[in-house]
Structure 1
Amino acid sequence: MEGAVAVLTMQYPPHNLFDLALTRAVIDALAWARGQGARAVVLNSAMRHFSAGADLKAIENGLGEDGGQLLLELLGAFREHPAPIIASVHGVCVGGGLEIALACDFVIAAESSKLGCVEPIVGLHPLMGAIQRISQRAGELRAKEMAMFGRRFDAQTLERWNIINRVVPDARLASATMVLARELAAGPTVAHAATKKLAAVAASQGVEAADKAMLEIQKAVFASRDFANAVASYRERGPGFAMFEGR
């Protein structure tokens, strides 16, 4: 924990290859962050690369029903986590590594990083949600281009395609990530959680479904102490002075 920010750092030699063990470790780490009351989460890597994808041995052995369910559990852990999650990407971020980054709420990448869906080189397509998430963000054409050609792209290209949020100089990646994380952690946590839920409904079910879900999702926001205190602060001092507790 760095203040209210949980920093989850992958360090699984040689290249943070996702197998069942690393998948379970990430799920457990998100649960730990939730238990700590983290108001923002950073997922980064202590290795040379963010992640070179999935462990081929694990795939060759067959994911099986249990492995497939674990992957769905992993994606659900990111989706259901109440705090905003930032992927801080450097080096290579491909295959399953890219899919983990895309499961986060924000992706900030170093200028020199290379990202892509490289599964075609081993006769696969993305197995952990990249196709649908890229389709949501950049459209069907870009999703098929990335999934079928299997190329690595520079971070600037994926920022331009609206697949990642921000590109920063390599030397500023850690500091820029923490600036965003601390800003999120200092904000109205209950409202951020509601934003995640509503955006997920809109992305998966459409705007009409989100409109119908909106009032129920917003009940927690209106009932929060942060909303009451911020309104009182606004009336007493004007905008920009509210301090949020995350409740």
Structure 2
Amino acid sequence: MSEQPMRLEREGDVAVVTIDSPPLNLFDQAMLDALRGVVDALVAEPPRAVLVRAEGRVVSGGVDVEVFHGRSAEQGAALWRELLDIIHRFERLSCPTVFAAHALTLTAAFEWALGCDLIVAGRGARFGLVETVVGLTPSMGGPQRLAERAGSGRARELVMTAELFDAETLERWNVVNRVWEDDEVDAKARALAASLAAGPTRAHDATKQIVRAWCDGGVGLADEIVPEVSGALFETEDLRAAVAGFLERGPKHGTVYQGR
């Protein structure tokens, strides 16, 4: 067990965030504080890709209910504002983010996953937003991000039933992007993150901005921002090097992107 419930390690251009607080990797106050610190560090020194993973037999058993105990309505609202701010800041990172789920992934961990660009999972992984067991609804951004991915009906189903859903079902519903064998998840997730980190980072950021604009305001808003967001790519080192290489050596010249 690590001294902190969550750690951030830099592996080349990839920032690997590991949840590690056995036996259940619960999101207690220490874990939430660690999450805030990790996001602060990522914002201060952005990588070219982020991988979120976990150690242990579960990704997370959910939130420690002590976090909710005795709060007033005002204190509850303050908690949700703080946690949503963390998710917003994480989503705005200018690089691809990948969440790897090898096993049970409940509540706060699942909501964090939904704030990532890609979710990958093992066949044995199970996901759930089970806050109704304590009279709550998920409020760290989960329902609305589920609706973005799977539609409003599926979002209500996941939340209201508080059932567990397997990775292959959520892949069919467009919540999970890729499903692998359980013992392959970690290696394949690391390889995927490394591949994304080796790509045109500025272009990936532009993709994120355009998709976010679509989520916020539909095709019209996305179209509005494209000229400025994508136009700026023409002054990046990556585009200029890739175009020059293409013209000189053909489409398979193998540009090495620098993320600039």
TM-score if structure 2 supplies the norm length?
0.90
User: Quick one: distance in 2 between partners of 1:110 and 1:40?
Assistant: 21
> Equivalent residue of 2:105, what SS?
strand
- 2:57 counterpart of 1:45: no
Contact (CA 8 Å) 1:188, 1:246: kept in 2 or not? yes
1:243 corresponds to which residue?
A: 256
Distance in 1 separating the partners of 2:206 and 2:70: 39
Q: Where do 1:88-237 residues align within 5 Å?
A: 88-237=100-249
Query: What is the DSSP-based 3-state SS (H/G/I as helix, E as strand, rest coil) of the residue aligned with 2:24?
Result: coil
Per the alignment, residue 28 of structure 1 pairs with 37
- 2 CA distance for matches of 1:19 and 1:213? 39
> Structure 1: which 5+ residue stretches go unaligned?
none
SS at match of 1:60: coil
Cα deviation code 1:50-87 (max 9, x no counterpart): 11222211012325454222112211122111111100
8 Å contact 2:143–2:159 — kept in the other structure? Answer: yes
Quote the Cα distance in structure 1 between the aligned partners of 2:39 and 2:235. Answer: 26
Give the distance between the partners of 1:158 and 1:215, measured in 2 at CA: 34
Separation in structure 2 between the aligned mates of residue 117 and residue 37 of structure 1, nearest angstrom: 30
Code of the residue aligned with 1:88 in structure 2: it is: A
Q: Counterparts of 1:171 and 1:13 in 2: how far apart (Å)?
A: 19
- The residue that corresponds to 1:75 in the other structure is 87
Distance verdict in 2 for CA 1:87–1:14, change over 3 Å? same
What is the number of residues matched between the two proteins? 247
Cα distance in 2, alignment partners of residues 20 and 70 from structure 1: 12
Q: Is the 8 A contact 1:52 1:96 kept in 2?
A: no
Name the aligned partner's letter for residue 144 of structure 1. R
Contact 1:7–1:44 (CA under 8 A) maintained in structure 2: yes
Contact 1:116-1:146 at 8 Å conserved across structures: yes
CA distance in 2, matches of 1:147, 1:53: 14
Counterpart of 2:5? none
Unaligned segments of structure 2, at least 5 residues? 1-9
**Aligned-partner Cα distance in 1 for 2:60–2:85:** 19
Mapped to 2, the partners of 1:11 and 1:36 lie a distance apart of: 22
- Structure 1 residue ranges (4+ consecutive) displaced by more than 3 angstroms after TM superposition: 33-37, 63-66
- For residue 124 of structure 1, report the CA deviation from its aligned partner: 1.6
Q: What's the counterpart of residue 17 of structure 1?
A: 26
What do the CA deviations read for 1:188-241 (whole angstroms, capped 9, x no partner)? 000111111111111121110111111122243222110111110110111132
* SS of alignment partner, residue 187 of structure 1: coil
What is the distance in 2 between the residues matched to 1:57 and 1:132?
25
Tell whether 2:105 aligns with 1:85.
Answer: no
Distance 1:226 1:150, change over 3 A: same
Measured after TM superposition, the shift of residue 158 of structure 1 is 0.3
Deviation per CA, 1:5-51, whole angstroms, max 9, x where unpaired? 11110112442222343223223223324544421110011132111
CA offset digits 1:169-204 (Å, max 9, x no partner): 011001110121111011000011111111111112
CA RMSD of aligned residues (A): 1.6
Question: Quick one: distance in 2 between partners of 1:23 and 1:105?
Answer: 21
Answer with 205-214 or 7-16: which moved more: 7-16
